[in-house]
Structure 1
Amino acid sequence: MQKKPELLAPAGNFEKMRMAILYGADAVYLGGKSFGLRALGGNFDREELREAVTYAHEHGKKVYVTVNIFPHNADLASLPDYLLYLNKIHVDALLVADLGVFSFCRTWIPNMEIHISTQANNTNWATVNAWKDLGAKRVVLAREMSMEEIRTIRKKCDVDLELFVHGAMCISYSGRCLLSNYFTGRDSNRGNCAQSCRWKYSLVEETRPGKYFPIEEDERGTYIMNSKDMCLLSYLSDVIETGVNSLKIEGRMKSIHYVASVVRTYRSAIDAYYKDPAHFTVRQEWIEELGKVSHRPYTTGFYFHKPTEKDQLYGNSSYEQSSDFVGLVLAYDTTSGYATVEQRNNMKVGQKIEFFQPHGELFHQTLADMRDEDGASIDIAPHPQQIIRIHMEHPVEPYTILRRNLTIGL
């Protein structure tokens, strides 16, 4: 049997990175304050990068840093110093898209492991082998490929392959988009995407300014470039059997709830497959778990067929979810049975709350005894990020997520 593939998770900030690691990721990818393609994702300053690497390594996990912008001349002046710093703090690998940046890496930090970003449009075995010959350790495959094409690349290429399995889909080829530049002046290829593809569009005829015609016959207009989100959980055995080395989750700008839920779901599924491949089935609770986080309806993208209108969302750009993230356990006192919780949304006595743990079983409890920081009994936690104490019917792990089911009106 082939080696179990790495589960690679997004980390937009330190809190998200910690949750990804605690909920089962083997590695995380993240960006510094420059040279990455998610400038609005929070990201890490230099000291935070050092702390992130230390934390991950203490937990036996890896950190990959994105250096995947398409730089202009002015961007190159500070690049060597940044690369030397990443090497100094022992980052495990860099994600690179531009050949010039790749060349800088080989010159300034020749022993650093380099992964080629999906932004480089890696759609065939010749390209993959070319990057390997230049010294790349891994190539991230483009999302505009079929499973059959991926199998062919695996047969013809002796290099690590990374594959997106879950998250948002970009309307532009491998994410190389100019819409954001055109409408807002924010360069998506240098880290400042405004997500213009998610906006609502209508048609305007030149001689009739101000008169808007819906591109579809719908009075609301149409979101003509708004893709559904990718989800390959139902086809996990097919994905693993392609022989790829790393399964990647998109979402550095998503919430800690999203990161924890998606990571633990894929962790559970991957481990179940390797426990008994011949009898592996996708469990309904895994499918339901992915519905609890904020997401667009799911699609398999290009992997099993060329996308059609069924893979787009023309009517709106809204997200859906079946659960609300309401709190995060900071600590649990085994003597008193109280959990210290940071409130993230409205909670009140009498609500049925779901406790989603990093490792333990999911369970439900109706809130009956809730107290403020001074120990006074309270019926509701009204203040954002208020610290409260909840008496637990069962022990609970630190960094457990508290959720309220939205489908039953609680």
Structure 2
Amino acid sequence: MWKQNKPELLAPGGDLEKLKIAVLYGADAVYIGGEEYGLRAKAKNFGLDAMAEGIKFAHDHGAKVYITANIFAHNADFNGMAEYFQAVEKIGADALIISDLGVFSVAKEAVPNMEIHVSTQANNTNYMSACMWYQLGAKRVVLARELSFQEVKQIREKIPQDMDIEAFVHGAMCISYSGRCLLSNYLSGRDANKGACSHPCRWKYHLVEETRPGEYMPIEENERGTYIYNSKDLCMIEHIPDILESGIMSLKIEGRMKTPFYVGTVVKAYRQAVDDYLKSPALYHERLPYYLEEVSKASHRDYTEGFFYQKPDGKQQIYNSNTYIRGYDFIGMVQSDSDPATGIAVVEQRNKFSVGEEIEVMPAKGDAFTMRVSKMMDEDGNFVESAPHPQQILQIFFEKPVRKFDMLRKIVLDAK
């Protein structure tokens, strides 16, 4: 009988800053992409030096780092692949995330002692394929998003006890089968299966009749058009008990292209939810409104439970917009611990704010607190009334102690 150990919270790291934020805000592991072989070509990604720094930072804080190598490879992609895998093993990466059988075979030969996780891109929808991957040497299978809790439980019962199950619990959903999109290649010439997706699922679509070119008829009546492929975002923070009971060991948050604010906000909320549940189910249920409020402070689409409870119907799509719901602005990142004597800390501005405005300080650990900006200076010590310049360095007085990587946010008054 399989027994759940403490679950892993797995967060995205689109660059070095986001990796550090993910770790400090509560992730047990971070998944990142190198400059080759990953499926987020537009992310900043990591050169080997930055990767080594990120891995050391994670390990120093008790977290792991997994490297994505989940493209569907063409012949030319294998040039230098074995050497790349050996390089990331040498700098301490904890696992490779792979979807292609050929890439898998290269990894097994080049780095036989390295842990391999089979990507969701491999369309892992049944226990037979999971067992086959295990026989080939995989340690973990990342499930397709198209599975229900019932199917997840059946897979858990049928696979080896020491094989891990990972599943997405939060973030953007893909309209295509586990992300294997052909629309992008067809419509824009950019191969989603090699990391260059143009996200045509978010575009505006109309219907055109063959004999009446140029007449664009909306597929659903709306003056702004329709977005027939645009899925709501997955959010399972209300269902931590069902997630853990199903046999999912690693709870994966989507978002290597998202902001540091998104990563920190969502990771912290799930960290608190999981820890509270493990401490006391009653405490978890009591704090559900708080977790939902917190994840909703990060930019998001309307939320859905995906396939976990039932097959989605039309209600899981967004037909009249491709915009995000944004209730809070990320306005600054603390760059140094506050001075105990003066309460002043250095902040890097991310969005405009002014003296007199009420802001929230979101620390990596502990509860957020609200304060009004009473005084602010530029880096030369001159008093300023506002911070309008991107990445402007400021000195701000804080009512409570703050630490490096704490984040500042403020309510968007005209949020919709």
Residue number among 220, 224, 231 corresponding to 2:228 in the alignment: 224
Find the aligned partners of 1:283 and 1:314 in 2 and give their Cα distance: 29
Map of 1:5 onto structure 2: 7
Map of 1:93 onto structure 2: 95
Q: Quick check: 2:66–2:95 contact (8 Å CA) kept in 1?
A: yes
Map of 2:389 onto structure 1: 383
Find the aligned partners of 2:210 and 2:130 in 1 and give their Cα distance: 46
State the Cα deviation string for residues 346-370 of structure 1 (Å, max 9, x = none).
1111100100000122101101111
Map of 2:260 onto structure 1: 256
Q: Quick check: 2:349–2:392 contact (8 Å CA) kept in 1?
A: yes
SS of residue in 2 equivalent to 1:254: coil
Map of 1:142 onto structure 2: 144
1:308 and 2:313 matched: yes
State the Cα deviation string for residues 167-199 of structure 1 (Å, max 9, x = none).
000000000001110111110001100101100
Aligned-residue offset at 1:279? 5.6
Find the aligned partners of 2:154 and 2:288 in 1 and give their Cα distance: 29
Map of 2:177 onto structure 1: 173
What aligned pairs does 1:325-336 form with structure 2 within 5 A after superposition?
325-331=330-336, 332-336=338-342
SS of residue in 2 equivalent to 1:280: helix
Structure 1 window deviating more from structure 2 (304-313 vs 216-225): it is: 216-225
Map of 1:299 onto structure 2: 304
Amino acid at match of 2:273: A
SS of residue in 1 equivalent to 2:55: helix
Query: Normalising by structure 1, what TM-score?
Result: 0.98
Map of 1:202 onto structure 2: 206
Map of 1:68 onto structure 2: 70
Structure 1 window deviating more from structure 2 (372-381 vs 5-14): it is: 372-381
What aligned pairs does 1:256-275 form with structure 2 within 5 A after superposition?
256-275=260-279
Amino acid at match of 1:10: P
Find the aligned partners of 2:50 and 2:398 in 1 and give their Cα distance: 34
Aligned residues: 409
1:112 and 2:118 matched: no
Find the aligned partners of 2:11 and 2:365 in 1 and give their Cα distance: 17
Amino acid at match of 1:320: I
Find the aligned partners of 1:14 and 1:197 in 2 and give their Cα distance: 29
SS of residue in 2 equivalent to 1:274: helix
Q: Quick check: 2:357–2:372 contact (8 Å CA) kept in 1?
A: yes
Map of 1:344 onto structure 2: 350
Aligned-residue offset at 1:151? 0.7
Aligned-residue offset at 1:41? 1.1
Amino acid at match of 1:365: M
Aligned-residue offset at 1:222? 1.0
Residue number among 366, 370, 381 corresponding to 1:360 in the alignment: 366
Residue number among 128, 131, 134 corresponding to 1:132 in the alignment: 134
Find the aligned partners of 1:100 and 1:2 in 2 and give their Cα distance: 32
Find the aligned partners of 2:54 and 2:283 in 1 and give their Cα distance: 38
SS of residue in 1 equivalent to 2:296: helix
Q: Quick check: 2:276–2:283 contact (8 Å CA) kept in 1?
A: no
Amino acid at match of 2:188: T
Structure 1: tracts of 5 or more residues without a match: none
Q: Quick check: 1:69–1:98 contact (8 Å CA) kept in 2?
A: yes
1:373 and 2:374 matched: no
Find the aligned partners of 1:119 and 1:163 in 2 and give their Cα distance: 12
Map of 1:50 onto structure 2: 52
Structure 1 window deviating more from structure 2 (225-234 vs 386-395): it is: 386-395
Map of 1:320 onto structure 2: 325
Map of 1:190 onto structure 2: 194
Find the aligned partners of 1:9 and 1:286 in 2 and give their Cα distance: 17
Map of 2:246 onto structure 1: 242
Map of 1:215 onto structure 2: 219
Aligned-residue offset at 1:2? 2.9
Amino acid at match of 1:215: I
Find the aligned partners of 1:211 and 1:244 in 2 and give their Cα distance: 49
SS of residue in 2 equivalent to 1:193: coil
Query: Normalising by structure 2, what TM-score?
Result: 0.96
Structure 2: tracts of 5 or more residues without a match: none
Find the aligned partners of 2:355 and 2:79 in 1 and give their Cα distance: 57
SS of residue in 2 equivalent to 1:270: helix
Find the aligned partners of 1:45 and 1:209 in 2 and give their Cα distance: 48
State the Cα deviation string for residues 200-251 of structure 1 (Å, max 9, x = none).
0101122222111111122322101000000001111111111221000000
State the Cα deviation string for residues 302-342 of structure 1 (Å, max 9, x = none).
00011111100000101002111101111111122101111
Q: CA RMSD in A?
A: 1.2
Deviating beyond 4 angstroms after TM superposition, the runs of 4 or more aligned structure 1 residues are: none
Q: Quick check: 2:361–2:409 contact (8 Å CA) kept in 1?
A: yes
Q: Quick check: 1:360–1:397 contact (8 Å CA) kept in 2?
A: no
